[in-house]
Amino acid sequence: MAPPVGRAAPHHGRLGLVQGTALYVASVLGTGILVLPGLAAQVAGPASILAVAAVLVLSIPLAGTFAALASRFPDPGGVASYVRRVLGPTAARMTGYWFFFGVCVGAPVVAILGGEYVVAVLGVDRAAVPIIGFAVFLPPLIANWFGVRVAGWVQFVLTGLLLAVVVGVVAVTFPAADAANFTPFLPNGWGGVGVAISLFVWAFAGWEVGTHIAGEFRDPRRIIPIATGIAIAVVGLGYLALQFATVAVLGDRAGTSQVPLLDLVETTAPGIGSVLVAIVAAIVTVGVLNAYLPAFGKLGAALGRDGDLPRYFAKGAEDGAVPRRALALTGALIVVYFVLMLWNELDLTGFILIHTSNMVAIYAAGMLAATLILRRFSLGWWLAIVATVLTAGLLLLAWQNLVMPIVLAAASVVVTIVRRVRARRTPPVGDGAAASVVPADVEVVP
């Protein structure tokens, strides 16, 4: 076992509290608001509000632990770097596989969400959703193929605009709330609430962002905890308000809607409001994909560089280089997921659960590593202890959806075994030095 992380290296970050808070809010508040309120209402009914509250409570120690790690040990490697230091290279490889193959399921989900909203506002047949979704996916892929990325502040403006739309939707539709829509409160029992909690992990994923950009803050130890606290409040209140409005206004219709935001607007402000929501949703979808693809590309190249994927994909892993081969692999993987979604008649629930189950696995490994890295009995350590227990509970809730994380974990173990066998079979050369040295595992998560 490697020793705990040492003192953070000097950095020259320039991000202040305002920019830092904006980045945190933008990283957590995303396309989940486009569909999750409806999906959660479908599986849990009015009790879906309890699911949102539960995930919000879970986010406090989870986000607090990530803030403690990021503020004390700025490291662009993120979660996998902490896992590697205390749990070893195989566990770190699992983390990398969970991101690249598991979290990648979320990319076509995002594209389909954009397609659903565009189809809704255009009034065309829903058969066009996969075509529009694929079209939404292409511009970010092409842009990243040439190394061009939309500026971060543009993505934040788009996300902020979407948040403003959500606030406006809740305010406008609140007078249409009907208390009768809250009965029965538990139509599917507590099991439905558990499924809704698993779904909403998608909405609250992103707290680990500080572990990747901590070195960019002017004063990580002071700014990151404050920015995290503000973001928790903003995102949590936003999701709670939207879930309440979805249930209170739409009632039984909430669970059958593909575009709950549009349906909410149509109840009290038909016309231009729905057009605005659809346009903003489509643009934000492109922005989210534009952020996803370079991360997957760099991660795939790093996995190739370290021998965890075929070395053919390693080209472009260097800073400033474009990982076109890994991007092509990512694109092919996303196309496979697209085909599976078509075969499943665009029912996104299962794919979101696959995505969230991989995220929960990553979080569980990260929280366990945090308990071994952070100073014992410090506030961050106590938060990590609580978060470890809570993420273990999430793993239990998600047990039916853990097939893919388990398969990817087994694959990472197989890679370790194969590499060790090859190393032992490599004959010595020259003065007896090994002809081949198994490359050291390095951080692979962008």
Give the C-alpha distances (Å, rounded to integers) separating 74 from 66, 212, 216, 317: 11, 8, 9, 21
Burial of 48 (0-12, 13-18, 19+ CB in 10 A): buried
Contacts of 99 (CB under 8 A, 6+ apart): 80, 296, 299, 358, 362, 445
Residue 152: its pLDDT value, please? 47
Asked, for residue 1, whether it belongs to a domain, the answer is: no
Instruction: Round to whole Å and give the CA distance between 302 and 313.
Output: 8
Asked, for residue 137, whether it belongs to a domain, the answer is: yes
Pair 350, 370: CB distance under 8 Å: no
Question: Which two three-digit tokens encode residue 76?
Answer: 């662009």
Sequential pLDDT tens for the chain (446 residues): 444 444 444 445 566 787 777 777 766 776 677 777 888 888 888 888 899 898 888 888 988 898 888 887 765 456 777 888 888 889 988 988 998 898 888 888 888 877 877 787 777 777 888 888 888 888 878 877 776 444 445 556 666 776 777 777 788 778 778 888 888 888 888 888 888 887 777 677 777 766 656 666 777 778 888 888 888 888 888 888 888 888 888 887 777 766 777 777 777 767 666 676 777 777 777 777 776 777 788 778 877 877 788 889 888 776 557 788 888 998 899 989 988 888 887 777 788 888 888 888 888 899 999 999 888 888 889 999 998 988 888 788 777 778 889 999 999 999 899 888 888 887 655 544 444 334 444 333 33
Pair 396, 237: CB distance under 8 Å: no
Pair 209, 27: CB distance under 8 Å: yes
Residue 5: its pLDDT value, please? 44
The amino acid at residue 272 is: I
Residue 434: its pLDDT value, please? 41
Residue 215: its pLDDT value, please? 64
Asked, for residue 141, whether it belongs to a domain, the answer is: yes
Question: Which two three-digit tokens encode residue 184?
Answer: 């029965």
User: Which domain range does residue 248 map to?
Assistant: 17-423
Pair 42, 255: CB distance under 8 Å: yes
Per-residue exposure over 187-199, b if at least 16 CB sit within 10 Å of its own CB, e if not = ebeeebbbbbbbb
Residue 14: its pLDDT value, please? 65
Asked, for residue 2, whether it belongs to a domain, the answer is: no
Asked, for residue 436, whether it belongs to a domain, the answer is: no
Pair 42, 410: CB distance under 8 Å: no
Residue 372: its pLDDT value, please? 92
Pair 278, 120: CB distance under 8 Å: yes
Asked, for residue 332, whether it belongs to a domain, the answer is: yes
pTM score of the predicted model = 0.72
Per the structure, the count of domains in the chain is 1
Instruction: Round to whole Å and give the CA distance between 89 and 442.
Output: 8
Is the bond into 184 cis (omega within 30 degrees of 0)?
yes
Indicate which CATH number applies to the domain containing 39: 1.20.1740.10
Asked, for residue 91, whether it belongs to a domain, the answer is: yes
Instruction: Round to whole Å and give the CA distance between 136 and 133.
Output: 5
Convert the pLDDT of each residue in 157-197 to its tens digit.
666 776 777 777 788 778 778 888 888 888 888 888 888 88
| Number of Cβ atoms within 10 Å of the Cβ of 156 | 17
Asked, for residue 176, whether it belongs to a domain, the answer is: yes
Pair 152, 295: CB distance under 8 Å: no
Closest CA to 397 of 105, 196, 103, 240: 196
| Number of Cβ atoms within 10 Å of the Cβ of 243 | 30
Instruction: Round to whole Å and give the CA distance between 7 and 113.
Output: 43
Give the C-alpha distances (Å, rounded to integers) separating 295 from 86, 106, 142, 160: 24, 13, 15, 22
The amino acid at residue 414 is: V
Convert the pLDDT of each residue in 76-86 to its tens digit.
456 777 888 88
